[in-house]
Structure 1
Amino acid sequence: MSKIRITKQFSFETGHALYGYDGKCRNVHGHSYKLSVCVIGEPITDSDNVKFGMVIDFGDLKKIVKSEIVDQFDHATVFNKNTPHVELAKELKNRGHHVILVEYQPTSENMVVDFAEKIKKYLPEHIKLHSLRLQETESSFAEWFASDQ
């Protein structure tokens, strides 16, 4: 049977700041992120299976990505917890804001690696994560490919 890749796209709004960066992105700002999640597998061949002909139900993929990424990061502000931004994070949390502290500089490059690890944990064994594309702006994105790892 042929291996087939399927892709689902997601959108979410997230703020961040890049501590120590030498440009404007050192300031707190936000993006309308677009995340494309591509998985690979063989379509189900059992005609008695309700998912017959599917690699994975788009709805099942949506549940994973929504739970692990979109619901967590949408309308959150992300800071590296190993920087002085932690003080700002505490203040924002105290004022009721949704803040995520991560172990890394919250660039698109690092976020896409984090997202790949989160998604891979929940995919069925016969489905593999093929690639992710995290678009930060209209013209800027980071990509992760399993084949590069």
Structure 2
Amino acid sequence: MAKIRITKQFTFETAHALYGYDGKCKNIHGHSYKLDVTVIGEPISDLQNAKCGMVIDFGDLKKIVKTEVVDKMDHAIILNKDTPHIELAETLKASGHNVVLVNYQPTSENMVIDFADKIQNKLSKDLKLHSLKLRETETAFAEWFASDN
């Protein structure tokens, strides 16, 4: 049977700061991110399976991406745990803010790598994560392709 790619788009609001950056992005600021998740696989051919004809139920893909990415990142502040921003993070956490500490500079490029690992680990073995596209703005995005990695 043919391999088919399906894509679902997700949106979330996240703030971040790039420690050591030489421009405005060194300051805490936010984005309305859009994440396109594309998986590849063969449609289920078993007529007895309620999901016959699907590569993956869009609802099942939604559960994975929401759990692994969206619910953690939406309305959070992402900061690199290995920078002086850690003091700011502790202050924000103490004030009740949702702070996500990561072990990388929270650029779109590094975020999409992180998301790819998290999503692929939750997909069934018969599916493969094909690509991710993370839009930081309407005109700027980072892409990850399994074929490149």
User: In the alignment, which residue of structure 1 is the partner of 2:147?
Assistant: 147
Q: Which portions of structure 1, spanning 4 or more consecutive aligned residues, are displaced by more than 6 angstroms?
A: none
User: In the alignment, which residue of structure 1 is the partner of 2:29?
Assistant: 29
CA RMSD of aligned residues (A): 0.3
Distance 2:120 2:4 in 1: 17
Distance 2:117 2:7 in 1: 17
- Normalising by the residue count of structure 1, what TM-score does the alignment of the two structures yield? 1.00
User: In the alignment, which residue of structure 2 is the partner of 1:111?
Assistant: 111
Describe the SS at the equivalent of 2:136.
strand
Deviation at 1:119, TM superposition (A): 0.3
Amino acid at match of 1:32: S
User: In the alignment, which residue of structure 2 is the partner of 1:95?
Assistant: 95
User: In the alignment, which residue of structure 2 is the partner of 1:73?
Assistant: 73
Describe the SS at the equivalent of 1:142.
strand
Distance 2:61 2:124 in 1: 10
Distance 1:113 1:24 in 2: 23
Deviations, residues 10-45 of structure 1 (Å, cap 9, x unaligned): 000000000000000000000000000000000001
Distance 1:114 1:37 in 2: 13
User: In the alignment, which residue of structure 1 is the partner of 2:59?
Assistant: 59
Amino acid at match of 1:39: V
Matches for 1:117-128 after TM superposition, within 5 Å: 117-128=117-128
Deviations, residues 89-114 of structure 1 (Å, cap 9, x unaligned): 00000000000000000000000000
Alignment gaps of 5+ in structure 2: none
Distance 2:25 2:115 in 1: 21
Amino acid at match of 2:2: S
Matches for 1:123-138 after TM superposition, within 5 Å: 123-138=123-138
Distance 1:46 1:140 in 2: 41
Alignment gaps of 5+ in structure 1: none
User: In the alignment, which residue of structure 1 is the partner of 2:83?
Assistant: 83
User: In the alignment, which residue of structure 2 is the partner of 1:6?
Assistant: 6
User: In the alignment, which residue of structure 2 is the partner of 1:20?
Assistant: 20
Deviation at 1:59, TM superposition (A): 0.3
